[in-house]
Amino acid sequence: MQGGVSGFQNAPVTRAVALTSGLLSVVFSAQRRTRALGISYQDIIKNFRLWKIFSSVFVFQSTPELMFGLYLLYYFRVFERQIGSNKYSVFCLFTITVSSLLEILSLVLLKDTSYISALASGPYGLISASFVPFFLDIPVTSRFRIFGINFSDKSFIYLAGLQLLLSSWKRSLIPGIFGLIAGSLYRLNVFGVRKMKLPQIIASFFARYFAPLSGGTSRPSRSLVGNMPSQTAHAIQNQSSTGFAPIMEPPESSVAMLVSMGFDGNDARQALMRARNDINMATNILLEAQSR
């Protein structure tokens, strides 16, 4: 599954995070310094190397971690399209801040033990936090079996996240768990965080410098039934032919929401009609259509 019409269209914040993480990871890797970037009790509390907090938020320590991390960041751009760049910026800042504070607290509590000396660096907090809305808001649209094991269209995203979470064992597991906690706190709207917005000048900065060029990004409208998973398309065709679920004209507000996420207007209208105006199901239909 992939989220959207073309690249980072309508996702400038995600693009900024992915570019920053990718470029810094390459630079520090070329200097052979990535293994020294994970924060430790000695660095933060005793030696006050506060710059390491920033580096630990963005720089992956190995090529596999970088590949899986950038893939997940790229996929989760669908959430920026869903809630808007301003609120997604708040989501990023909140989850990164909370997970980083929890990481520092864990190092303080474990300073006198040999359980762990340093934590893995990289945007584990943001990526793990994104699995909370992924689990709760993205529906399963297809299921299949491989070697007798049941999978869904969401399984590969979970497997990529598990690979990243266990890439450095305890050093990456702890930041990942704190990211899930941060994402849950955002979901619970602690301190009213989900209603917060950044100053417009900051949102304009991302839109101006990190939004991709609009030329050639839209795709021509096409029939979505042929691009949907076979089970979903078959169910929709059955509903239409039997008359049990009449297709209703989708509300313009729902079409506008999908368009704001980067989808073509005609595709959004077709998907909503086929999903009986269920916007979550329509989103997944569009994601599946784009991935084929």
Of 150, 184, 209, the one marking the end of a domain is 209
156 in the same domain as 27: yes
232 in the same domain as 93: no
What pLDDT does 30 receive?
Answer: 83
Of 152, 180, 209, the one marking the end of a domain is 209
195 in the same domain as 140: yes
- How many folded domains does the chain comprise? 2
Q: Which residue has the higher pLDDT, 46 or 218?
A: 46
Which of the residue ranges 46-50, 136-140, 184-188, 264-268 has the most confident prediction, judged by mean pLDDT? 184-188
241 in the same domain as 106: no
Q: Which two tokens stand for residue 72?
A: 């997940």
User: Which amino acid, residue 56?
Assistant: S
Domain-located, residue 110: yes
Do residues 17 and 91 lie in contact, with contact meaning Cβ atoms separated by under 8 Å?
Answer: no
What pLDDT does 28 receive?
Answer: 86
Please give the model's pTM, rounded to 2 decimal places. Answer: 0.73
d(C-alpha 49, C-alpha 59), whole Å = 16
d(C-alpha 291, C-alpha 156), whole Å = 13
pLDDT in tens, 153-191: 899 999 999 999 999 888 999 999 999 999 999 999 999
Domain-located, residue 154: yes
Task: Indicate the SS3 state at residue 7.
Answer: coil
Task: Indicate the SS3 state at residue 251.
Answer: coil
Dihedral over alpha carbons 221, 224, 229, 234 (to 10 degrees): -170
187 in the same domain as 113: yes
137 in the same domain as 88: yes
229 in the same domain as 200: no
Average pLDDT estimate for 11-33? 89
Of 178, 209, 240, the one marking the end of a domain is 209
Residue ranges making up the domain that contains 276 = 225-290
Q: Which two tokens stand for residue 250?
A: 């989708």
pLDDT in tens, 185-207: 999 999 999 999 888 787 677 77
DSSP symbols for 93-146: HHHHHHHHHHHHHHHHHTTTSSS-SBPPPSSHHHHHHHHHHHHHHS----EEEE
